[in-house]
Amino acid sequence: MTSHKVTLRPEGKVVEVEEGKNLLAALREQDVYVKSSCGGHATCTDCIIKIVSGEDNLTPPPFEELKLLGNVFHITKERLACQTMVTGDVTIDISKHDKASDEEKLRSKTSNFSKKKQVQTRVRKESDIDRARAEQEEERAQFDRDQKQKNDTWQKHWEKEKDANAPKRLAGGKRPKFFDTDKVDYEKETYTRPLSAEKQKLRDERLAKEAELKNDKELVKKSQEIPKSDKDFKKFRG
């Protein structure tokens, strides 16, 4: 099977990786430490490596990798080792993966669980317990009395008889204002702004034409009433 050279930075070590095998599995077979929490199932981002050169000799990122890192490889130059396969010679940077540093962090986290903490217990006297219980019962009784008083007040509010002759009030408790019709001057003419000379002239001409048309209509009506024959004349005369 074809194998390709993978140069590891910053040590400068060169390893042979078979084509079709992901970098995480291939590097672990050759005792190269690469941190991974999910075991190569693309559910964490601990096995991130940085591509220094030869990015064209890598398989494109699958959906699982894009879901975790996004489509920003052209900016960050970072890939998941468990989802990356080589098709040629590449150079990668694994300076982020330091076995000694990771073991020290894990040791410091787990060491806190082994420390025994002294638990201080407070013993309360029976008299203190009885006093606290009595205070609690008194507070509960006072609360019940307050609730009963509120309920009684609310019930009396609804049972109160209403005066049928009392005037109805609007929102906000304001009484309606009565309209005084005696102060209204119905004979007062409305104010009209005087017309200009030009508009007054046009108005007079229009009124004159309307008067002429009215006179013409009356003449036509009278001419229609004049009898045209002797028979009609007798009827018209009576």
Give CA 76 to chain center in angstroms.
32
Which pairing describes strands 90-93 and 3-9: parallel, antiparallel, or unpaired?
Answer: parallel
Residue 25 · residue 51 · CB < 8 Å:
no
Of 22, 4, 24, whose CA–CA distance to 14 is shortest? 4
Q: How far apart are CA 211 and CA 176, in angstroms?
A: 52
Q: Is the pLDDT of residue 233 over 60?
A: no
Residue 142 in domain: no
Mean pLDDT of 155-183: 56
Q: How far apart are CA 117 and CA 209, in angstroms?
A: 115
Share of the chain above pLDDT 70, in %: 67
- State the CATH number of the domain containing residue 55: 3.10.20.30
Give CA 120 to chain center in angstroms.
49
pLDDT (tens digit per residue) in 106-126: 887 766 655 555 555 555 677
- Grouping H, G, I as helix, E, B as strand and the rest as coil, residue 13 is strand
Task: Answer with the one of 74, 96, 118 that is the final residue of a domain.
Answer: 96
Q: How far apart are CA 65 and CA 80, in angstroms?
A: 7
Q: Is the pLDDT of residue 91 over 90?
A: yes
Least confident of 1-5, 21-25, 80-84: 1-5
Mean pLDDT of 87-103: 89
Which pairing describes strands 13-18 and 90-93: parallel, antiparallel, or unpaired?
Answer: unpaired
- Token pair 């076995």 is found at 99
Residue 82 in domain: yes
Residue 59 in domain: yes
H or E segment and range at residue 153: helix 126-159
Residue 113 in domain: no
| pLDDT at 165 (0 to 100) | 64
Task: Answer with the one of 96, 113, 132 that is the final residue of a domain.
Answer: 96
Residue 31 in domain: yes
Domain of residue 204 covers: 197-226
Task: Answer with the one of 42, 66, 96 that is the final residue of a domain.
Answer: 96
Number of domains in the chain: 2
Residues 6+ apart with CB under 8 A from 53: 90, 91
> What φ, ψ does residue 51 adopt, rounded to 5°?
-90, 120
Residues 6+ apart with CB under 8 A from 65: 42, 79, 80, 83
- pTM score of the predicted model: 0.46
16 strand-pairing partners: 5
| pLDDT at 191 (0 to 100) | 44
Q: How far apart are CA 123 and CA 23, in angstroms?
A: 62
Residues 6+ apart with CB under 8 A from 68: 42, 44, 45, 80
| pLDDT at 158 (0 to 100) | 58
Mean pLDDT of 87-105: 89
Residue 203 in domain: yes
- Token pair 């009898």 is found at 227
Residue 144 in domain: no
Q: Is the pLDDT of residue 232 over 80?
A: no
Q: Is the pLDDT of residue 144 over 90?
A: no
Q: How far apart are CA 40 and CA 25, in angstroms?
A: 8
Residue 213 in domain: yes
- Token pair 């082994």 is found at 114
Q: Please give the full DSSP string across 169-213, using - where no structure is assigned.
A: --TTSPPPPPP-GGG--TTPPPP-PPPPHHHHHHHHHHHHHHHHH
